[in-house]
Amino acid sequence: MLSDDGVNPHTLENSMRKAYTAFTTRSPSAEMLKRPQPGLSGFLLLDRMTAIEGGLPIFAGKELVGSIGISGAPGGEKDAACAQVGIDKIANGLGG
């Protein structure tokens, strides 16, 4: 986990929830919003799950190897874009 000086404390937990959701569901955290009810409500009752944009799974080929969660930008779409830049930066090392 990495954070800048002066960040709001909730962004740390939010980024962890985004990453956990992306890893657990093997899809971007924002994809949770596309789940039908009552399934979505049930998922969001689970500890550490979120439907906020900014969490992305990391794959090496078809194998899930991790996830990334970004929080703190003014808007989840910016968090997701930042997460994608990070994944793109390491993509060559992931193979496949």
Give the domain CATH number at 55: 3.30.450.150
Per the domain annotation, does 5 fall within a domain? no
8 token code pair: 């709001």
Range of weakest confidence among 15-29, 33-47, 61-75 = 33-47
Mean of pLDDT values over 82-86: 95
Per the domain annotation, does 2 fall within a domain? no
pLDDT band per the 50, 70, 90 thresholds, residue 86: very high
26 token code pair: 């093997």
Q: Are 51 and 30 in contact (CB under 8 A)?
A: yes
Per the domain annotation, does 23 fall within a domain? yes
CA distance 60 to 76: 25
Tally of domains in the chain: 1
pTM as predicted:
0.89
Per the domain annotation, does 61 fall within a domain? yes
Residue numbers of the domain that contains 81? 10-94
How many other CB atoms are there within 10 angstroms of residue 31's CB atom? 16
C-alpha angle 8-24-20 in degrees, rounded to nearest 5: 15
- Supply the pLDDT for residue 50: 95
Per the domain annotation, does 87 fall within a domain? yes
